A and B are shown apart, each in its own frame.
Chain A
Amino acid sequence: MRSMTTSVIRTAGLLGLAAASAGRLAAAEDFNPNVTIRGFVSQGYLKTTDNNFIGVPTEEGSFAFTEAALNFSAEPLPRLRVAAQLFGRDVGVQGNNRVVLDWALGEYRAWDELGFRVGRIKFPTGLYNTLSDADVTRPEIFQPGGLYPPERRDLTAAMQGGGVFGTFNLGGAGYLEYEGLYGTVNLDETYLMSRVGQISAANIAPALSALHISNVQYTVTETSGSAKHIWGAHAEWHPPVSGLRLRLGFQGANPVFSTYAVFNGFAGPAPVSVAVRTTSAFDIPYQVVYSGEYTRGGLRVTVEHARQTTDGTTTVTGLPVPVPPSTSHALPVSTYGQLAYRFTPHLLLSSYYSVYYPDRQDKEGARLVRQGQPASGAWLKDFAFTLRVDINAHWLAKAEVHRFDGTANLSLAENPGGVEPEWTLFAVKTTLHF
Chain B
Amino acid sequence: MQSIVAVLLAGLVLTAGPQASTPSFQVIVSSANPATSIKRQDLAQIFLKKKSRWTDGKEVLPVDQTARSAVRGAFTKAVLKAEGMGHLSDVESFWLQQVYSGRGNPPPIKASDADVLAFVQANPGAIGYVSTATLPASLKVLAVTE
Contacts and interface: CB of A to CB of B under 8 A. Distances in A.
A34 B105 CA distance: 8
A322 interface: no
A38 B100 contact: yes
Interface stretch (A1-9, A74-82, A212-220): A74-82
Nearest to A128: B97
Interface of B: 41, 45, 50-53, 59, 63, 67, 81-90, 93, 96-97, 99-106, 108-109, 119
Contacts of B85: 295
Contacts of A245: 84
B93 A137 contact: yes
Contacts of B89: 342, 345
Given A69-B100, A111-B53, 19 more contacts: A33-B63, A33-B109, A38-B99, A105-B102, A112-B50, A112-B52, A121-B102, A124-B101, A130-B97, A131-B100, A137-B93, A137-B96, A137-B100, A175-B45, A245-B84, A294-B84, A295-B84, A342-B87, A345-B88
Contacts of A167: 45, 50-51
A73 to B, nearest CB: 5
Interface stretch (A200-208, A236-244, A362-370): A236-244
A81 B96 CA distance: 16
B83 A243 contact: yes
Contact of B102 (A33, A75, A103): A103
Nearest to A84: B102
A83 interface: yes
Contacts of A238: 83
A297 B86 contact: yes
A127 to B, nearest CB: 10
Contacts of B87: 297-298, 342, 345
Contacts of A85: 100, 102
Q: Which 5 pairs across A and B sit closest by C-beta, in order of nearness? A: A243-B84, A33-B108, A130-B101, A134-B100, A295-B84
A342 to B, nearest CB: 6
| B interface majority secondary structure | mixed
Nearest to B59: A78
B40 to A, nearest CB: 11
A122 to B, nearest CB: 5
A355 B93 CA distance: 27
Nearest to B100: A134
Interface of A: 29, 33-34, 36, 38, 69, 71, 73-75, 78-79, 81, 83, 85, 103, 105, 109, 111-112, 121-122, 124, 130-131, 133-134, 136-137, 167, 169, 175, 177, 238, 242-245, 294-298, 342, 345, 393
A79 B100 contact: no
Contacts of B67: 393
B138 to A, nearest CB: 20
B84 A296 contact: yes
B108 A29 contact: yes
Contacts of B97: 130-131, 134, 137
B86 A169 contact: no
A34 B108 contact: yes
B84 A73 contact: no
Contacts of B90: 295
18 contacts: A33-B63, A33-B119, A69-B100, A79-B52, A105-B102, A112-B51, A130-B100, A130-B102, A130-B103, A131-B100, A134-B100, A136-B96, A167-B50, A169-B45, A238-B83, A242-B81, A243-B84, A296-B84
A38 B98 CA distance: 12
B145 to A, nearest CB: 14
A109 B52 contact: yes
A391 B108 CA distance: 25
A74 B106 CA distance: 10
Given A81-B105, A112-B51, A242-B82, A73 B59 contact: no
Contacts of B93: 137
Contacts of A244: 84
A393 B67 CA distance: 10
Contacts of B53: 111-112
A112 B50 CA distance: 7
